[in-house]
Structure 1
């Protein structure tokens, strides 16, 4: 017993010394499997990555081929007379070999873009882990992880989207570049190819653009400015924002000092003292090119060869437009102008007072309320419904769906002609017309004339509460100048290669008749009256002008759009933050800017008188209505509501069920409306032919109630809009 006890005790001691026996635990088994699987996957991944890098390295162009590669397109922009107004795209300057690149330029670029450039193999694992750690522990996303070699691979071989696939290919190509070329060669390629903004590729082009000397002569401060541009060329460009460029350069100098690439005294260089070259290209014509040149993506097949773009812009008119906006815009307000020829060619385009200060294009992009200039579409709808400029309307208080518009002066003029109501921009009359023809009809008219923005059909829309683009409004008025024919704005006449081969030629757009001639003539009549005697008198230039003012509530927007001698011009003024501008009215500053520009624009053109004769169609001019309504004593006919009327049936002095005469529409008081006959039995002959019914119900003709007989109206008082 003692012997067995001693053996048991020895076994227990051995068990405690050697650990538990038996099969391993399930957790340890799975951990072992995962570790082995991970090692296998890692090994296969490394093998695959190595093969990918090897294959990419063998496929890379030679160093000489990479030096000769240009990955962007040069575009020379010409005015309508052939004058070169702008050169866009890459400017590569002179290639600077590694030995001739100033050391301070190399150090500045490495310090700010890739501090471990000389130690990594194309990708920077430490930098990547740091970026991931910052993204996980803070509120920053993964960024700034591309090495100089990765940036070179992206600039030369890839695009700039941020997909995972592109990032993986970028890493593979970076390691392939590192395996094939030396660090000096990679840095030379990078500094001669990286984009610095303003069309400048490479340090020589950037140095000449910003400092007017070759890249071999860069100082420490200049090198810091150029190195700081790579992160955001447009934001830190010294020609766009000097303070931002200087601030970024100081960051570069601090990094260079912290990394020991320059001394403390060198880091104290005065960046503010750097003399910058004045960039003459950053002017108002850039608003035009920003609108016109993106159209090349649609007009041309994909090409990277140098091209010349011949545009519609008139250099003299562009300068006159810029001067007119600068001279007449109220303090603190922006201004925009669009001017186009009768065929839609854009002659001048101003998107703001200073392109360098802000490149936002208020002529083609901004959505602002047009005010009473929107009444163009209200009166077009009324004219198409049968009104004429001489028809009598009433300027009286009115309430529509709970909305009660007020006139600008607060008073009412009573009976007046349609022409006078438009000329003096009577809001109550526009509201009544819009309500009569239908707000949806006004919206359809605006879309017919090229308004592309969303349109609300609430009653206040008749006073211009919908936001529109100035370009669209100018296009609509240009169609009226063309007497109802559609106008398609365009800015590019032709595109040629550097050798002169024409690869695109503008073709005249198909013309569409938007409204009948008599409607267009009537609208021209109204627009001319607005300038001659109404709210647009400040737009007079000593020859026939037609146009319309517009002012929004609290003077937030001022509008004037008009035309003369085949040129249509629209002007908008206001603040970008939509705050009120003291004294801003469409009939003042915008109309004055219009006149200042148009005096120059039309000086070489013959004086043109407007055609305002409204040759009405027969359905409007028939004196006794028989053509339209038929003779009720001879056969069945159709009334204005489309009811079939039986001949000879009159009950009572006016017929049973008819409304009082005071409630009848214009022209109804002189006609007797009869109730329809009993429904005809099946197979009964048709009371009137299809041709007559088509004519009687309007067919393709605009339907309206005949206008009242014009009554003399007292001359309305002159009131501001």
Structure 2
């Protein structure tokens, strides 16, 4: 119906027949407003139906649109599977690039500004010299370097072949090398190869820590790219070869060549260069001084890699493999490194931060250091298993505290823990001299009588080693035999606090528990403290402070520190020094310290054995040298009944005999002809005479205070000797 005709007809309102049947509401075709061609989309013309006279729709003017395909969108052409993969691959790559850029931006934000980065200055060289001026050890950088242009070509080639064969082809990171390492690690189900380039390793050595985290690895990559932009390949090789660590304290190829082969880097053979290149992966495990077979096998791998890279031919590689490198035989176990570590600990207190090369002149006598090392290592190797003891320590110093030798353990390569300085153990009966000095300073004498009989202290019943008692004995005899009951009685008589104060006054710095058991050496102390505390007996009563550094100077000779003579005053009156030396020398002459006797040279000392034979001690001295020996196990497990009068005394004697070569014999302070000098209040108290109205026990040697020493456990005193010295047991 035409629009005009419809408008002239009467208006018809829709009727809703509520009561009649329900009808479907729809717009009548005649009431639809037609859409003109101008309103149709220009890309397509919609087909329009014209009403037929019989009310049926006429055929469309155009063919109807095809039904959309399954899986399609809006009837568009379906994209093939490869096309979709390419499409989404590109999308993922785009997001990956965006994420990578963001990640590097984050890493860069946590680095110092690149423009402010500089290759750090070479660490200062700290050379440690002995009394003869010879360099004993080096800490920090060795101070020697080698230029690539001065080295044989095969030296840098060895490192490139095994660590970064595409060194000249990448720009700091090697994606091919990373992929190759990843595949190898997956196939071997472990980390068998690394993907770090030489430049990355240099970045880590120069700027970063050794921690293994993802963020540090990313920082390493950024810094490697920066290094490649700033330096040439030759400069990077120079930096790398002079900063990489080769073990045994050697940094740089020049220091390593001298350390392992005793020659300059420019003089190394092909097999020696290959061995050094092989150390980079694991310098401690593959060090040729420690694992020569492992080092040689790794060198063979390096030579094969050089041949595969075209640096050498197969024949040259085979020749080098047939003639492997050998490290110099070490003349020591590296014990001087215990001294070097101790020096590094105190260096900052003397000169502050060290930024330039310095030479530290010490009080260490190289000959004595070697004697001490040999005594500890050889005796433990020969007898350690027999006595169930694995570790030992020795320290020797002059009576004024200058340390001449220090051994912190059986082998520095196996353990760097310094047992002479840092370990604290129960000294056992070697602590008793402080008990007896306390008694002497309060009026007793070496010949004063005290009763050796059972004692109980609040339920604690200390016993002698033999579980036998000898009745009245002199203090000299009691100390020589380490009679525990007498030591406890003296401690209770004058008070545990008085004993601890005496020990602290003489040089013990550790905390001491002021109780009755302090009489038996139950509080833990270090070997350094014990040797220091015995020093006043050797120097006529002067307090000392142990020291090892004499002076420090720069490479230009300028003195930065020089130790001045120090006086800490008199800590023991000379008369008491004479009494103590009279008592303590008996231990070596006829007591449990007989194995420490020095063949006519005046010496004194004390044995010590802690509970359950866990620690064995001998601390003694002459007029020229004070030395202490400790033996035990790091886990404090009991030994096989090792006593201080056994192996520790033997080691002490062996060292002291060698240390006193060409040294004149000298008497101990306060003694004259083997006896302590009498003082006005002692004129009638000669050894071997009646003391305090009580006779000296029968069997004692006239004219001297005969004694046989034992530690807290008597140190294995022979019964026949006790009978001879003390007479019948009570």
TM-score w.r.t. length of structure 2: 0.68
- Name 2:128's counterpart in structure 1: 77
Instruction: Confirm whether residue 369 of structure 1 aligns to residue 352 of structure 2.
Output: no
Quickly say closer, same or farther: Cα 1:349–1:179, change in 2 above 3 A: same
Is residue 2:366 matched to residue 1:308?
no
Is the 1:413–1:716 contact (alpha carbons within 8 Å) kept by the matching residues of 2? no
SS class of match (1:331):
helix
157 and 575 in structure 1: CA distance in 2 versus 1, 3 angstrom threshold: closer
Q: Which residue of 2 aligns with 1:631?
A: none
RMSD of equivalent CA atoms: 5.1
Verify the 8 A CA contact 1:98 1:185 in the aligned structure 2.
no
> Does the 8 Å contact 1:239/1:356 carry over to 2?
no
Q: Which residue of 2 aligns with 1:179?
A: 229
Mapping 1:504-583, distance limit 5 Å: 504-514=561-571, 520-541=577-598, 542-553=600-611, 555-575=613-633
Contact kept? 1:335, 1:353, Cα under 8 Å: yes
Query: Unpaired runs of 5+ in structure 1?
Result: 20-34, 622-707
Which residue in 2 is equivalent to 1:209?
259
The verdict on how the C-alpha distance between 1:474 and 1:52 changes in structure 2, with shifts beyond 3 A counting, is closer
**Residues of 1 paired with 2:510 and 2:163: CA distance?**
44
Give the structure 2 partner of residue 277 of structure 1: 328
* 1:396 and 2:447 matched: no
The reply to whether residue 712 of structure 1 matches residue 695 of structure 2 is: yes
Match of 2:159 among 106, 109, 124: 109
Distance 1:124 1:372 in 2: 66
Q: Once the 2 structures are TM-superposed, how far is the Cα of residue 714 of structure 1 from its aligned partner?
A: 0.6
Residue in 2 that maps onto 1:378: 435
Matches of 1:112 and 1:401 in 2, distance apart? 72
Conserved in 2, the CA contact under 8 Å of 1:391 and 1:417?
Answer: yes
Q: Which residue of 2 aligns with 1:150?
A: 200
Check whether the contact 1:93–1:205 (CA below 8 A) recurs between aligned residues.
yes
Distance in 2 between residues matched to 1:411 and 1:134, nearest whole Å: 72
Count of residue pairs the alignment pairs up = 611
Partners of 2:338 and 2:69 in 1: CA distance:
90
Distance 1:214 1:159 in 2: 30
Q: How does 1:210-229 map to 2 (within 5 A)?
A: 210-212=260-262, 215=265, 221-229=271-279
Q: Which residue of 1 aligns with 2:405?
A: 348
2-structure distance, mates of 1:284, 1:416: 44
Q: Deviations over 1:76-109 (max 9, x none)?
A: 3332243444455544656343696545x55653
C-alpha distance after superposition, 1:406-454 (max 9, x if no partner) = 2223321111122211111112222333344444554444344333445
Any residues of structure 2 matched to 1:57-68 within 5 Å, and which? none
Cα distance in 2 for residues equivalent to 1:247 and 1:427: 59
Measured in 2, the distance between the counterparts of 1:326 and 1:52 equals 50
Deviates more, 1:352-361 or 1:376-385: 352-361
Q: For 1:432 and 1:502, locate their aligned partners in 2 and report how far apart those are by CA, in whole Å.
A: 54
Quick check: 226-235 or 83-92, which moved more? Answer: 83-92
Supply the distance in 1 between the matched residues of 2:571 and 2:183 (Cα, whole angstroms): 63
| 1:607 is aligned to 2:672 | no
Query: Once the two structures are superposed, what CA deviation does each residue of 1:225-279 show, in whole Å capped at 9, x if it has no partner?
Result: 2123224434432123324534554666788799999999959975894222235
In the other structure, the counterpart of 1:297 is 348
Q: Aligned-pair distance for 1:372?
A: 1.1
SS at match of 1:487: coil
Hey, what's the Cα distance between the residues in 1 that align with 2:644 and 2:116? 64
Quote the Cα distance in structure 2 between the aligned partners of 1:264 and 1:3: 96
Distance in 1, Cα, partners of 2:195 & 2:300: 22
Q: Distance in 2 between matches of 1:446 and 1:522?
A: 17
2:487 to 430, 435, 448: 430
**Residue 236 of structure 1, aligned match among 268, 283, 286:** 286
Per mean C-alpha deviation after superposition, the further-off stretch among 253-262 and 447-456 is 253-262
TM-score by length of 1: 0.69
1:562-602, Cα deviation, whole Å (9 max, x unpaired): 22214211122345565665574322433344334434545
Q: Which residue of 2 aligns with 1:451?
A: 508
- Write out per-residue CA displacement over residues 585-623 of structure 1, whole angstroms, 9 at most, x where no aligned residue: 322433344334434545236434425458699xx99xx
